[in-house]
Structure 1
Amino acid sequence: MVVFFVKRLLMSLLVVLVSTLIMYVLVDLSIDPLADLRTSTAPNKAQQIANRTAELRLDDPVILRYLDWLRGASGCLYGSCDLGENWKTNQLVTSLLSGAVTTTIQLVSVATVLAIVLGVLVGIVSALRQYSGFDYSITFLSFLLYSLPVFWVAVLAKVYLAIDLNNFLAGEDGQAAQLSWTFIVVVALLAGLIVSSAVAGDARTRLRNAAVAAVATVALLVFLNLTGWFERPQIGIVLIALSAVGWAFVMTILSTGLRNKKALYSALSVAALGVVLWYPMLFVWFYARDAGILGWPLVIGLFLVALALSAGIGWAWGGPDRGQSMRTAALTAVPVSMMLFTDRLLQSWASYNDNQAIKGRPIATIGRATPNLVGDFWIQTLDVLTHLALPTATLILISFASYTRYSRASMLEVMNADYIRTARSKGLTERTVVMRHAFRNALLPLASIVPIDIITLLGGAVITETVFGWFGMGRLFVDSLSGQQQDPVMAYILIVGILAVLANFVADLVYAVLDPRIRVAA
């Protein structure tokens, strides 16, 4: 293991070193810092060119300038980072990077996670329901989304998910926003069609599932209309209780199956604990705000405590395998905790929407924050989420298609393998065959795709950032290159190069975890 790490580290350093040298030379050839002065009509044009040439050391050989840049960049290894500066504004590159990296991570992290989870889930279901209406629909939708240009999707998102949605939320003639019966019926029919095509069974079973899904959808949408949910959205204790029980069953089915009663009881206990803690948590948030400790460190800390308590509940229930009960309980704690947090967040929606800086138009179309917005942690968090809504939806639609196709193809290949037929011949349940034998191996191809995609997104979503007015890594690279700025461009290349070799290293480790036949020390 130690030999493997040392070899990969030395090879990675060599790759980064050679790539930065090549890119430094190419960038130097592609930019012209004197371009604006060459067309200048100033009487001291020659002196200005001479001064800038001396300032940027353009007369020095490019290798010497690269070595000086490399000396400053290597200082990042021991806390003395010098990546140069923007010679037009004299702003340090490190300060430019700090803001751009934070913006890009904030922009792409949620979209990447959701695209991976949804894409893999839908792809697996599509493979299990091969040649069904659901499979054909997902295949068509995936190819359609994959072929759409990003800028066009972003513009459509602005029109329909921001402008039209803001108009809907504002209501008409002073009336609260209400869903029309036409919309309710169409959505209910679509929900029934999707559920019936995704769930296996004969025609009678599928028809029954479609009816249940359609009725449940109608009931939910009518409930939202009657309670004025679009004006003052919240989850409420009733929906939290019903959803928590549903999540307990779902997580048990995915983790161990309903035959493991101890795991099911562990999950239901976690669901009950979440319902019981709903009201006390309102006071926790209140006192945390007054004490000045309300923030993301507290939220993350409480989430970790919830996972630990849930694992303890699973251990207390025990069963044939305590680890399965602990895992199921911890998995149930994730959505239950998220619902409690989301419910408290939505309770501040009215205050956020009525804020003078928002003016009743909560879904933002540009920028990463609302200027001059004053509010507590909940108001600021809602502002971040509303600004993230459109770019996140755009990135998800584009990335979702590829993950769906990859996971479907991989799952189909695995399901036809000999060991799957052997597992079925032994009398194992279909859930066990899919979740314990097929699903893990179906993730192997994604292990080499997902890390690279994540690094690609961290390198910046140039078009998305431009359309929605986010200044992230992509915008930094494009603006610096067009502005004849070599140091910011090289800083971008350095970060992306390091992340690229790191992504390949992570992919190797993930392969070793998922496939026991692979050893990282080989």
Structure 2
Amino acid sequence: MASFITRRLIAAFFVLLAATFLMYILVALSGDPLQELREGNAPNKIQLMESLTARLNLDVPPVFRYFLWLGGVAGCFIGQCDLGVNVQGLPVLTLLQQAMGSTLQLVTGAQIIAIIVGLIVGITTALRQYSGYDYSVTFASFLFFSLPIFWVAVLLKQYTAIGFNDWLADPQIGIPLLIGISVVSGLLWMSLLGGAPRRRLITLAVATVSTGALLTYFELSNWFTTPSVGIVGVAVTAIATAVGITAISVGIKDSHALRGALVTAGLGIALYYPMTFYVFRGMSLPLFLGLAVGAIVVGGGIGYVLGGRDRWQSARTSAIVSLIVAAVIALDGFLLYWNAYFNSSRVNGRPMATIGSETPNLGGNFWIQGIDTFTHLLLPTIAIILISFASLTRYTRASMLEVMNQDYIRTARSKGLTQRTVVVRHALRNALIPISTVIALDLGALIGGAVITESVFGWSGMGQLFLNGLRAIDPNPVMAFFLITGLLAVVFNLIADLLYASLDPRIRVSS
């Protein structure tokens, strides 16, 4: 293992060295950073040109200038990183740190959601091959895969943000829209659950009526203007989560795991009022993250204690239930401050943001700042999710179909194992082997691909750092962006190889 990693790192070093050299030379020869000053009429034009020449070492040939830049990068290994300065004289390292934080905030959540949803939908479409659900997802995947992300972003701005903000001025659903949404929801659930014709019709009827009743309740109770989850919503969600996660994870017949999940859900329900009236008032980001970790630990502990023979499986199930219940309670905490955010003079009743990463001079506590972050992240996150989800779903479906036709899957079924056991314990692990490469490479390329998304949504991240460097013929910011994306590509390629070895015991990386 160590020798394999060492060989890969050595090869990656020389690849990065050659790539950064070519990139630096291309940027340096793409134009003259002094051209704007030469054509200007500033009285101190000569002094400005001399200052910029000294800052960027423009009096040094590009080849030797590259090695000066490389020497600053080499200092990172001893804690003395120097990526140079930009044309304004600002340290590129400081600009890079700020830009990376903004970009990671944008892409991390989007990619996690895309992976989870893509895997789930890909697996379910493989299990429901040639069904209406399968055809619908296939059509949607190819549609989103074909659309350029800047076009998706523009559509989201127009019909999601602007349209939703206009609707919030008078949030009335109306009978035709109510019927349409209810029927579409019924068709989606019918397609998803499948089964015999009688079961499909029952699913259609129940889902349609339930959706219509829920939307009617929301409208009559003015939920869209004063949204909340409440203790009833938390309780229903907690119990449904406990049953559903147990059924997926270990099977509903595992009484020990079900008991642990239900106890965890009950504890979450019991803590709703203490959390809402006491803990949430002084909430901060460290406390919020600490509570999230605490929820996982407590839930896992309950599952382990009540887990019977399969303690670790029960602990995993209860930990997932605990995290979801905690998320629902946290969501209610955010919704409690929705009106304060919505009626703020800086928001002015149009909460869905179309540009930027925050509302200037908004102020407010942790919850209001969290809502503001969410409203600014929502559209770019959806755009990234749709594009990533489209490819990941197709890869997962193809891999799962290939695995489900293997001999050992037929053997597992012939032994009388349940469908859940066959899929989760036998098929899924092997289906994830090729998917791990796709996910790893997507993660490595995501920051580089966020340039267009950041440009459309006015997000000040690494994409803007890269574009501003190109426009100003400023190699240092461009090279900082290229260095990070190159390192990520190398690291995630290595992670993909290691995941292959961990998922498939036939693969060895030591030889």
| TM norm structure 1 | 0.93
- Aligned partner of 1:424 in structure 2 is 413
* Structure 2 CA distance for aligned equivalents of residues 156 and 388 of structure 1: 16
Aligned: 1:467 with 2:456: yes
Match of 2:300 among 307, 311, 320: 311
Assess, with a 3 A threshold, how the Cα gap between structure 1 residues 279 and 80 changes in structure 2: closer, same or farther: same
> 2:57 & 2:262 partners in 1: Cα distance?
69
Q: Partners of 2:311 and 2:204 in 1: how far apart?
A: 37
Deviation per residue, 1:115-144 (Å, 9 max, x gap): 111122111111111111111111111111
Q: Is the CA contact (8 Å cut-off) linking 1:271 and 1:333 kept in structure 2?
A: yes
Note the residue ranges of structure 2 that are not aligned, 5 or more in a row: none
Cα deviation digits, residues 194-243 of structure 1 (max 9, x gap): 11122232111111122222122112212211221110111111111111
Q: Contact 2:27–2:473 at 8 Å: present in 1 too?
A: no
Q: 1:346 offset after TM fit, Å?
A: 0.6
Give 1:144's aligned residue: 143
Quote the Cα distance in structure 2 between the aligned partners of 1:53 and 1:384: 40
The code of the aligned residue for 2:119 comes to V
Over 4 Å off, 4+ runs:
37-55
Residues 384, 438 of structure 1: alpha-carbon distance in 2 compared, 3 angstrom cutoff: same
Whole-angstrom CA distance in 2 between matches of 1:150 and 1:384: 21
TM-superposed CA distance for 1:12, in Å, is 2.8
- Cα-to-partner distance string for 1:455-492 (whole Å, 9 max, x where unaligned): 22222512221121111111211121111101111111
Q: Tell me whether 241-250 or 178-187 shows the greater mean CA deviation.
A: 178-187
**Counterparts of 2:277 and 2:44 in 1: how far apart (Å)?**
70
Q: Are 1:208 and 2:202 an aligned pair?
A: yes
Structure-1 separation of matches of 2:16 and 2:498: 20
Contact 1:460–1:472 (CA under 8 A) maintained in structure 2: no
Q: Which moved more, 1:24-33 or 1:127-136?
A: 24-33
Aligned AA (2:61): P
TM-score, normalised relative to structure 2: 0.95
Q: Which residue of 2 aligns with 1:167?
A: 166
Q: How does 1:172-321 map to 2 (within 5 A)?
A: 177-286=171-280, 289=282, 294-321=283-310
Structure 1: 5+ residue runs without aligned partners? 172-176
Taking the aligned partners of 1:355 and 1:224, their CA distance within structure 2 comes to: 23
Structure 1 residues 205 and 367: CA distance shift in structure 2, 3 A: same
Amino acid at match of 2:284: G
Q: Is 1:104–1:460's contact at 8 Å kept on the other side of the alignment?
A: no
Tell me how far apart the structure 2 counterparts of residues 494 and 455 of structure 1 sit (CA, whole Å).
Answer: 12
Where 1:329 maps in the other structure, the secondary structure is helix
Name the CA distance, whole Å, in 1 between partners of 2:388 and 2:307.
Answer: 40
Specify the alignment match of 1:115 in structure 2.
Answer: 114
Contact 1:315 1:322 in 2 (8 A): yes
Q: Distance in 2 between matches of 1:178 and 1:269?
A: 39
Give, in angstroms, the shift of residue 352 of structure 1. 0.8
How many pairs does the alignment contain? 511
User: Does residue 371 in structure 1 map to residue 360 in structure 2?
Assistant: yes
Q: Say whether the 8 Å CA contact 2:444–2:489 is kept in structure 1.
A: yes
TM alignment of 1:358-397, pairs within 5 A: 358-397=347-386
What corresponds to 1:174 in structure 2?
Answer: none
The answer to whether 1:73 aligns with 2:73 is yes
Distance in 2, Cα, partners of 1:263 & 1:41: 77
In structure 2, the residue matched to 1:17 is 17
Contact 2:118 2:389 in 1 (8 A): yes
Q: State how far apart, in whole Å, the 2-side matches of 1:179 and 1:231 are.
A: 13
Are 1:30 and 2:30 counterparts?
yes
Q: Tell me if the contact between 2:99 and 2:461 (Cα under 8 Å) persists in the aligned partners.
A: yes
CA distance in 2, matches of 1:29, 1:479: 16
How many Å apart are 1:57 and its aligned residue? 3.3
2:29 partner SS: helix
Secondary structure, counterpart of 1:138 in structure 2: helix
Distance 1:189 1:23, change over 3 A: same
Residue of structure 2 in register with 1:444 after alignment: 433
Q: Which moved more, 1:30-39 or 1:199-208?
A: 30-39
C-alpha distance in structure 1 between counterparts of 2:9 and 2:180, whole Å: 56
Question: Secondary structure at the residue paired with 2:265?
Answer: helix
Distance 2:286 2:330 in 1: 14
What letter corresponds to residue 58 of structure 1 in structure 2? L
Distance 1:412 1:52, change over 3 A: same
Taking the TM superposition and a 5 Å limit, the aligned residue runs for 1:470-489 are 470-489=459-478
Shift of 1:17: 2.3
Q: Deviations over 1:11-59 (max 9, x none)?
A: 3333322322222222222232233356557899888767755653334
How many Å separate the matches in 1 of 2:33 and 2:247?
Answer: 62
Task: Report if the CA contact (8 A) 1:129-1:135 is conserved.
Answer: yes
Does the CA contact (< 8 Å) of 2:28 and 2:473 recur in 1?
Answer: no
Partner SS state of residue 469, structure 2: helix
Query: Could you tell me which amino acid in structure 2 is paired with residue 222 of structure 1?
Result: T
- In 1: Cα distance, 2:435 partner to 2:124 partner: 16
Rounded Cα–Cα distance in structure 1 between residues aligned with 2:44 and 2:216: 74
User: How far, CA to CA, are the matches of 1:241 and 1:44 in structure 2?
Assistant: 71
Deviation at 1:439, TM superposition (A): 1.5
> Which residue type is aligned with residue 421 of structure 1?
R
- Distance (whole Å) between structure 1 residues aligned to residue 161 and residue 203 of structure 2: 33
Tell me the percent identity.
51
